[in-house]
Amino acid sequence: MSKRFALSFSLAIILLLCSSPAMARNAELLLSPTRIVLENGAKYMTVTVRNNGDGVGRYKIELVDAVMNENGGIKLREEGSKDEFSAKDVISLSPRNMTLKPDENQVVRILVKNTSELPDGEYRSHLQVRMTENDLDLKTGKPSTDGTGVVVRPKMTTVIPLIVRKGTTEFKITLDDAKLVMAGGEGQPSPEIKASFSFSGNRSVLGDIKVTHVAPDGKETQLAFYRGIAIYRGLTKRTQTVPLKVPQGANIHSGKIDIAFMSQEDEGSKVLSSKTINP
């Protein structure tokens, strides 16, 4: 669940149930905010679910858990499977079902229950809003038809991270290695930085990667500012590929390249770990 998962960490899955040239009205789905963090004793927050389509939609709201792999990929756990640091047991949601007309929205209330017996640390799940019916006829309670009986009805699911932090939380991140590689074919090579991190602590981190080239004469050129890199609690290793934008005429194979993992702007844009390479 970042601004990129939005880390973001926001997921959108479109399931096409059938196809036909006939197009119906379609309900859609928009959530705000796209990341929820309850910390410093906060017990309550809301998320707005909006139908920004032109059809009536019915939605189901639930908590799910997800796992992150070392390259940052996020996969929802199977039903009935729970993460070691899941927030499911301490979160209450209301309502869990809603029907929205076009341009209508409704608030989902999120309440943190008693956490007194939990050790200090971060607990994470994901808020999943799933469209169960698209272009609903409010009179019949069934999907509308246009007379042909077959229409395209996409059903959307959006998932955003929901984080509860209790007491003292901390983490340590180390940029262990970084390499300049040339991706793509020989005709149009595309420079990238491949970075490897070590991570520990009782909370996750969401940060940005800044890549700067320093020429032999000291001139600095920013090659990348890659936002929304998340590392979940429990993950000890993380890799990230960062595409570089090299100005015409710049020689990044001379001088040095500085790579910095930074906290995000709302947390002060502090350098948390860095490394310099000589390409």
Contact partners, residue 208, CB within 8 Å, separation at least 6: 225, 226, 227, 228, 229, 261, 262, 263, 264, 269
Given 166, 186, 214, the domain boundary residue is: 166
Whether pTM exceeds 0.85: no
Q: What is the pLDDT of residues 253-275, one digit of tens each?
A: 999 999 999 999 989 999 999 99
Instruction: Judge if 81 and 212 occupy the same domain.
Output: no
Task: Name the residue range of residue 230's domain.
Answer: 171-277
Looking at 119, 138, 166, which one is the last position of a domain? 166
Q: Is residue 72 located within the same domain as residue 199?
A: no
User: What CATH number does residue 203 fall under?
Assistant: 2.60.40.10
Same domain, 241 and 258: yes
pLDDT at 228 (0 to 100):
94
Q: Are residues 209 and 138 in the same domain?
A: no
**Mean pLDDT of the 55-84 span:** 90
- 274 burial (CB, 10 Å; 0-12 / 13-18 / 19+) is middle
* The predicted structure's pLDDT at residue 196: 98
At 102-156, the pLDDT tens digits run: 999 999 999 999 898 999 999 999 999 999 988 777 766 666 665 555 555 678 8
* Domain boundary, last residue among 111, 133, 166: 166
- In terms of Cα–Cα distance, which of 268, 259, 273 is closest to 231? 273
Question: What does pLDDT average to over the chain?
Answer: 87
pLDDT greater at residue 97 or residue 23: 97
- Residue 238 shares a structural domain with residue 198: yes
Same domain flag for 136 and 155: yes
Residue 10 has pLDDT above 50, yes or no: no
Residue 86 inside a domain? The answer is yes
Structural domain count, the chain: 2
Report if residue 5 sits inside a domain: no
- Residues 206-244 pLDDT 10s: 999 999 999 999 999 999 999 999 999 999 999 999 999
